[in-house]
């Protein structure tokens, strides 16, 4: 899907095209119908291929490697490559945790032929974003080293249990890399460990990056401008179909209570997350979440218990990921012939300008194009099915995993 968009950012980049031929007058010599058709096709294209029930890596562990070499001070992305990347990454991190709530993310920067870990794998977006913001003033020097960064990421990814999906995303601004050894062996190890590596090039396609990506099953893309950069990043928000060799396991998790219970009795205590940092937000509070295993207190979820290592989540955190597993089935596209008279979702009166309506295979309700897109991209619940006593429950039988 990404390849299809590549290079079509501007009309003049698509080469000679008889654009006027795409528009045809209807019998009355009007253009409305044809234009509506074109708009509809464009909307529809975005979500043409959707795969239901594929096995996804829910507990994602992603390292982002950010190039901080001299090449990042280039101003082809405004204001500079680094600033642009930081800005887009901030949005990316928020979006990432929104879509993958029980996943973890870490940041690595590379410059001066070295790799430094900016933040460890963790599930809290705020911390990463804080670190990222601090990068604004960092000195951009020397050359990057892909191998060193990959090795550094691998060191912590390797320790993860086998059921977790492991990924590395490299944002590469430089056209060179300075590596201590043979990067091919590193790629081999990554491949055998099942680490999926993707690269987004800010300058041009590099052979070694392309190889890294193809060998480990990741994506490789080169950005055209900041808009395209954002698109390239957003590809990595959705969980990738997990590599087949992932083991599945039952993971022990804690669902802590909100410690508000006895308002008179609760003593003021420090939360575990802030007990070590001498920062401004380490205060004594009565509220917080208590780990059900060791009763240590944490101020927000999800978090890994500092004391006993239990993963603490709240039920809605898990639920937020369910829609990947139970996607709404694609609707049938039907040429509009006067029925139904209104869209079942938004109650809009359908007219002849709506060339197509979309029927849900389960509840047989018709939807307009806009609702169809909204339901599949955002809502993930078919209003027709959800208001029908026979179909409202998402049955587990129909999910075919593996």
Per CB under 8 A, contacts with another protein among 301-340 are 310, 314-316, 318-323, 325-326
Binding another protein by CB under 8 A: which of 342, 351, 353, 361? 342
Question: Exposed, middle or buried, 105 (CB in 10 Å: 0-12/13-18/19+)?
Answer: buried
Site stretch for another protein (CB under 8 A), options 10-18, 30-38, 155-163, 203-211: 155-163
Token couple for 221: 């893309």
Binding mask 273-292 for another protein (x = CB under 8 A): -------------------x
Sheet holding 257-258, edge to edge: 257-258, 289-290, 297-298
Q: Is residue 385 at the binding interface for another protein, with CB under 8 A as the rule? A: yes
Task: Tell me whether residue 70 or residue 374 sits nearer to another protein (CB atom).
Answer: 374
Q: How far is the CB of 223 from another protein (least distance, A)?
A: 25
Residue 54 CA to residue 400 CA, distance in Å, equals 8
Binding another protein by CB under 8 A: which of 15, 79, 267, 389? 389
Q: Is residue 348 at the binding interface for another protein, with CB under 8 A as the rule? A: yes
Q: How many CB atoms lie within 10 A of CB 235?
A: 15
Binding mask 125-144 for another protein (x = CB under 8 A): --------------------
Residue 76 CA to residue 73 CA, distance in Å, equals 9
Task: Tell me whether residue 7 or residue 392 sits nearer to another protein (CB atom).
Answer: 392
If residue 290 lies in a helix (H) or strand (E), which one and from where to where? strand 289-290
Q: Is residue 58 at the binding interface for another protein, with CB under 8 A as the rule? A: yes
Residue 60 CA to residue 236 CA, distance in Å, equals 11
Q: Is residue 123 at the binding interface for another protein, with CB under 8 A as the rule? A: no
Size of the site for another protein (CB under 8 A): 78
Q: How far is the CB of 177 from another protein (least distance, A)?
A: 15
Residue ranges in 214-253 that form contacts with another protein under rule CB under 8 A: 247-253
Site stretch for another protein (CB under 8 A), options 25-33, 122-130, 225-233, 388-396: 388-396
Binding another protein by CB under 8 A: which of 9, 90, 94, 193? 193
Residue 83 CA to residue 200 CA, distance in Å, equals 16
Are the C-beta atoms of residues 104 and 62 closer than 8 Å to each other?
yes
Q: Which residue has the tokens 């990947």?
A: 324
Residues 6 or more apart whose CB falls under 8 angstroms from that of 87 comprise: none
Task: Tell me whether residue 44 or residue 163 sits nearer to another protein (CB atom).
Answer: 163
- Angle subtended by helix axes 183-193 and 207-216, to nearest 10: 20
Bridge partners (DSSP) of residue 367 are: 358
């Amino acid at each position: 899907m990404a390849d299809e968009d590549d290079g079509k950012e501007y009309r003049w980049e698509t080469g000679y095209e008889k654009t006027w031929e795409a528009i045809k007058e209807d019998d009355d010599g009007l253009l409305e119908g044809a234009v509506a058709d074109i708009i509809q096709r464009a909307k529809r294209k975005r979500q043409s291929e959707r795969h239901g029930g594929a096995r996804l890596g829910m507990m994602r562990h992603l390292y982002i490697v950010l190039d901080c070499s001299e090449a990042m001070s280039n101003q082809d992305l405004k204001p500079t490559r680094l600033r642009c990347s930081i800005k887009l990454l901030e949005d990316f991190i928020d979006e990432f945790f929104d879509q993958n709530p029980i996943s973890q993310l870490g940041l690595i920067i590379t410059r001066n032929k070295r790799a430094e870990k900016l933040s460890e794998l963790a599930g809290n977006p705020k911390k990463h974003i804080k670190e990222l913001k601090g990068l604004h003033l960092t000195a951009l020097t020397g050359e990057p080293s892909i191998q060193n960064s990959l090795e550094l990421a691998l060191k912590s990814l390797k320790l993860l249990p086998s059921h977790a999906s492991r990924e590395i995303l490299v944002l590469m601004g430089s056209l060179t890399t300075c590596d201590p050894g043979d990067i091919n062996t590193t790629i081999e190890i990554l491949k055998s460990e099942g680490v999926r590596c993707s690269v987004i090039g800010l300058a041009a396609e590099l052979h070694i990056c392309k190889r890294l990506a193809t060998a480990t099953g990741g994506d490789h893309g080169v950005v055209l401008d900041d808009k395209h950069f954002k698109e390239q990043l957003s590809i990595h928000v959705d969980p990738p179909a997990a590599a087949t060799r992932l083991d599945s396991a039952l993971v022990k998790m804690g669902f802590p209570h909100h410690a508000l219970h006895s308002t008179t009795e609760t003593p003021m205590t420090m939360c575990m997350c802030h007990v070590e940092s001498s920062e401004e937000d380490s205060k004594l509070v009565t509220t917080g979440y208590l780990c059900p295993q060791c009763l240590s207190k944490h101020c927000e979820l999800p978090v890994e218990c500092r004391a006993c290592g239990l993963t603490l989540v709240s039920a809605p955190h898990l639920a937020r990921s369910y829609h990947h597993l139970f996607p709404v089935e694609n609707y049938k596209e039907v040429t509009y012939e006067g029925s139904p008279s209104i869209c079942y979702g938004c109650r809009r009166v359908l007219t002849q300008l709506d060339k197509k309506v979309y029927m849900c295979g389960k509840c047989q309700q018709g939807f307009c194009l806009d609702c169809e897109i909204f339901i599949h991209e955002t809502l993930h619940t078919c209003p027709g099915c959800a208001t029908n006593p026979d179909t409202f429950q998402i049955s587990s039988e129909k999910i075919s995993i593996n």
